[in-house]
Structure 1
Amino acid sequence: MTRTAAVNADTPDTTPAEVSLWQAFLFWLKLGFISFGGPAGQIAIMHQELVERRRWISERRFLHALNYCMVLPGPEAQQLATYIGWLMHRTRGGLIAGGLFVLPSLFILIGLSWVYIAFGEMPLVAGLFYGIKPAVTAIVVQAAHRIGARALKNKVLWAVAAAAFVAIFALDVPFPAIVAAAAAIGYVGGRMAPDRFRAGGGHGQGDKSFGRALIDDDTPAPAHALFSWNRLARGALIGGLLWLVPMGLLTAGYGWDHTLTQMGWFFTKAALLTFGGAYAVLPYVYQGAVGHYGWLTPTQMIDGLALGETTPGPLIMVVTFVGFVGGYVKAVFGADSLFLAGAVAATLVTWFTFLPSFILILMGGPFIETTHNDLKFTAPLTAITAAVVGVILNLALFFGYHVLWPQGFEGAFEWGSAVIALGAGLALFRFKANVIHVIATCALIGFVVKTLL
């Protein structure tokens, strides 16, 4: 056997024992409750547990799977868990891994959303959110900086980011149109000036070994991971039915214009636009949920992102909060069933948001080798990622405006929020503080400010 990665003298050379589906289930369940820190933190946890400690998959195979998930719309950490679960235990393994990555967060957010909407005016809750919202503004600015530092490697990509910012900030261009235009620029640019649209960074090939892995560098792909037209057609049919049946039932039972039906349709579109992570699609969610449908207010949208930052699971789980508040406020089941309305809407939104991720992983897995490092495939993504930087910057300005001038520019400037935001930014940029620690500290400060001052 040829191994390109260096192996230390004390590195174990024995292959770990086979992992049962029950053992995998217990790990994925644990991961669902400890997956804090956004995608970077979640991927780091999986790498530490699956590559370094348990040796279920090798460094190279892990990064190769991650590269594939990075080019798909949707939360890459959840997709990576789905992919590894599928590779180890077929479709049921992928469903367990991806599902348990989401379900704990779903139940937690339904509970927190109810507390927020029912008791949000209480001094304790109001004080905590007074400190959390400026922290979230600083976190979004950091996200724009982090993605920009990785993605904007030349003047062309800087121009794409600037154009995206102007389009959404000044011209109010819909987010899907920005994504489509960026993809077209990337496709053409990848042919005319390929060096300008090569992925600038990202995840390289593994150069470490932690010993023999259960799925090692030279482990052949299992039978279920080999491409088959029959398997592809069956996956497409089942995936299509899993979307079509609930959407058809909603349309038949409530009508196309009903709140629940429109939530299903809107968040299906949002799921297919989640390039660059949750921060990238949040402006689209805001445009629809706040501006078009009126499911929640701008302030509630910021509060929802704050809850998403403080719970385990993908950050895109903020859509669960949007669904709960929308179903609750619209009283879709009547004034006597507000909690049920919110819980059903939250569950429905989560289903339509994550269904495309499962379909893309379970159907697209066998194509990994053919798409990896193919410029025709990655150049549009490179341009989209550049546009995402401009979109996130607009999101940061949106949050900053509503946090610092909650009554509009004609109202008073919130000096307390400004100081908290500056402190959070200093902690994130200068001291590289943990996001959860920053949010917790700012929440405590906000409570003190609102209670004692």
Structure 2
Amino acid sequence: MSKSPLLAMVDTESPQQVSFREAFLFWLKLGFISFGGPAGQISIMHQELVENRHWISEQRFLHALNYCMVLPGPEAQQLATYIGWLMHRTWGGIVAGALFVLPSLLVLIALSWIYIAWGEQPVVMGLFYGIKPAITAIVVQAAHRIGTRALRNNTQWAIAAAAFVAIFAFNIPFPIIVLSAALIGFIGGRFSPERFKGGGAHSGTDKSYGSAMIDDDTPTPEHAVFKWSRLMWIVIAGALLWLLPMGTLYLTLGREDTLTQMGWFFTKAALLTFGGAYAVLPYIYQGAVVNYHWLTPTQMIDGLALGETTPGPLIMVVAFVGFVGGYANTVFGPEHLFLGGVIAAIVVTWFTFLPSFLFIFAGGPFIETTHNDIKFTAPLTAITAAVVGVILNLALFFGYHVLWPQGLAGHVDWVAALIALAAAMALFRFKAKVTHVIAGCAIVGLALHLLFLS
């Protein structure tokens, strides 16, 4: 059977080299439309870059994605950085990764300021009254979604259960849980590898969308060839980009200052985000709410609600944590509250995302040179299983503060419980989008608050 003229045109058409300006405009657009969490963001990039624009082939796209999936950090932002770097060297990666984050940072700073300044207004209180139960249902859905993909045998279920007990009953810090799971996976992978097979990696595909600028057989560009000297310079540059701001904070403000503590804490958080933002949120809660008291449990839930409704990676909730923490702790004095919040938001964003760029620039050349598929190792499989238990604990934490706002000694908020149940039904049974669920619950909460609860 002969091909249609359209298919023939797609197969023979040789894509033109993409200019830096054209790529810049696309990454800028992506930063404002990247809703829907990692799955939605990766889907948008695949549709635009592979199917529509033919900038990169299906196989090379998945090859990059598999690498990003095993890194700590937001995989969608790292994938954008990787493709930008592959197309236009280091500056291309910086632009792609930064524009994935900057719109969300600006939006969250504005929303955080509105939240702090007008959060006690009836309209704002009503909106958040409906959103908070929805967030509880969303986190439960996240635990279910990750669990169905990650827990494939009794061993992985046992790891998830042990992680839940460790953080729920004994309040063991998240880093210890991650390291313990990794050790179990390392040992178990040697003696019983079939019990630590991962199920989350993206496999290859036979689909083809025509010739691409970076095609399956396109030679690796010179800047993407692995060289030890290039790796050394990247490591030195990364160390300086971390040491200079951290050293400045330490020397000018002191070790115990809020901004210094934020810089160090979110550096650790950035290295522990295996399994996505939901996995690291319990660690951020332990530090920001329990240990440092930068914000309250209720504010943490509200921050997650804002993060769910803005473009960009969900881990951008750290900008809200930074703004509220900097504002509440008057880091620049009571006369500069807004400035303190803005600087704190920028500080935590810098230290959270810096490792993601370094992982791509340092590891990308090795991945491109070898052209081997990147699989989940046994330690990473065990970590993913532990993450399920940790996320379940986070859901209980949110549910407790939403359903018992005055603590267990107080009454149950049955209205909030019904909203949470409705949100769960919409997510699980009707497969509604997260943004639609949040918007619907916000409207319901506003109406109930203004009519009956104010």
What TM-score range do you get, normalising by the shorter chain? Answer: over 0.9
* Pairing of 1:46-57 with structure 2 (within 5 A): 46-57=45-56
Give the superposed CA RMSD.
Answer: 1.3
What is the number of equivalent residue pairs in this alignment?
446
Whether 2:66 is the aligned partner of 1:62: answer no
Distance 2:443 2:426 in 1: 15
Distance 1:237 1:13 in 2: 44
Whether 2:235 is the aligned partner of 1:239: answer no
User: Where does residue 291 of structure 2 map in the other structure?
Assistant: 292
Q: Is the 8 A contact 1:278 1:316 kept in 2?
A: yes
User: Where does residue 385 of structure 1 map in the other structure?
Assistant: 384
Whether 2:349 is the aligned partner of 1:354: answer no
Distance 1:117 1:247 in 2: 27
Distance 2:206 2:36 in 1: 25
Q: Is the 8 A contact 1:135 1:424 kept in 2?
A: yes
How far is 1:201 from its partner?
A: 3.7
Q: Is the 8 A contact 1:298 1:402 kept in 2?
A: yes
Closer, same or farther: CA 374–213 of 1 in aligned 2, 3 Å: closer
How far is 1:334 from its partner?
A: 0.5
Unaligned runs of 5+ in 1: 1-6
User: Where does residue 19 of structure 1 map in the other structure?
Assistant: 18
Q: Is the 8 A contact 2:66 2:374 kept in 1?
A: no
Residue aligned with 1:12, SS: helix
Higher mean C-alpha deviation, range 429-438 or range 202-211: 202-211
Identity %: 72
How far is 1:374 from its partner?
A: 6.3
User: Where does residue 334 of structure 1 map in the other structure?
Assistant: 333
Closer, same or farther: CA 180–257 of 1 in aligned 2, 3 Å: same
Distance 1:127 1:194 in 2: 51
Q: Is the 8 A contact 1:150 1:202 kept in 2?
A: no
Distance 2:307 2:262 in 1: 19
* 1:352-382 deviation line (CA, Å, top 9, x unaligned): 000000000111102226595567x611111
Distance 1:136 1:210 in 2: 38
* Pairing of 1:1-20 with structure 2 (within 5 A): 11-20=10-19
Q: Is the 8 A contact 2:168 2:393 kept in 1?
A: yes
Provide the TM-score with structure 2 as the length reference: 0.96
Distance 1:433 1:329 in 2: 36
Whether 2:272 is the aligned partner of 1:282: answer no
Distance 2:58 2:344 in 1: 40
Distance 1:293 1:104 in 2: 28
* 1:375-430 deviation line (CA, Å, top 9, x unaligned): 7x611111100000000000000000000001101111111111110111000000
Whether 2:215 is the aligned partner of 1:191: answer no
How far is 1:207 from its partner?
A: 1.7
Residue aligned with 2:441, SS: helix
* Pairing of 1:165-244 with structure 2 (within 5 A): 165-244=164-243
Whether 2:453 is the aligned partner of 1:422: answer no
Provide the TM-score with structure 1 as the length reference: 0.97
How far is 1:8 from its partner?
A: 5.8
Unaligned runs of 5+ in 2: 1-5
Q: Is the 8 A contact 2:66 2:373 kept in 1?
A: no
Q: Is the 8 A contact 1:73 1:274 kept in 2?
A: yes
Closer, same or farther: CA 372–138 of 1 in aligned 2, 3 Å: farther
Residue aligned with 2:334, SS: coil
Distance 1:210 1:13 in 2: 11
Distance 1:201 1:240 in 2: 32
User: Where does residue 3 of structure 2 map in the other structure?
Assistant: none
Distance 1:373 1:88 in 2: 20
Whether 2:312 is the aligned partner of 1:309: answer no
Residue aligned with 1:325, SS: helix
Distance 1:206 1:443 in 2: 40
User: Where does residue 261 of structure 2 map in the other structure?
Assistant: 262
Whether 2:450 is the aligned partner of 1:451: answer yes
Distance 2:328 2:12 in 1: 59
How far is 1:199 from its partner?
A: 1.5
User: Where does residue 100 of structure 1 map in the other structure?
Assistant: 99
User: Where does residue 395 of structure 2 map in the other structure?
Assistant: 396
* 1:225-253 deviation line (CA, Å, top 9, x unaligned): 11101100000000000000000000000
* 1:281-306 deviation line (CA, Å, top 9, x unaligned): 00000000000000000000000000
Letter in 2 for 1:229: W
Higher mean C-alpha deviation, range 183-192 or range 263-272: 183-192
Whether 2:126 is the aligned partner of 1:127: answer yes
Closer, same or farther: CA 353–285 of 1 in aligned 2, 3 Å: same
Residue aligned with 2:444, SS: helix
Letter in 2 for 1:417: A
Q: Is the 8 A contact 1:79 1:98 kept in 2?
A: yes
Distance 1:300 1:332 in 2: 19
* 1:177-199 deviation line (CA, Å, top 9, x unaligned): 00000111111111111111122
Q: Is the 8 A contact 1:67 1:372 kept in 2?
A: no
Letter in 2 for 1:78: Q
Distance 2:201 2:241 in 1: 33
Letter in 1 for 2:237: I
Distance 1:29 1:378 in 2: 34
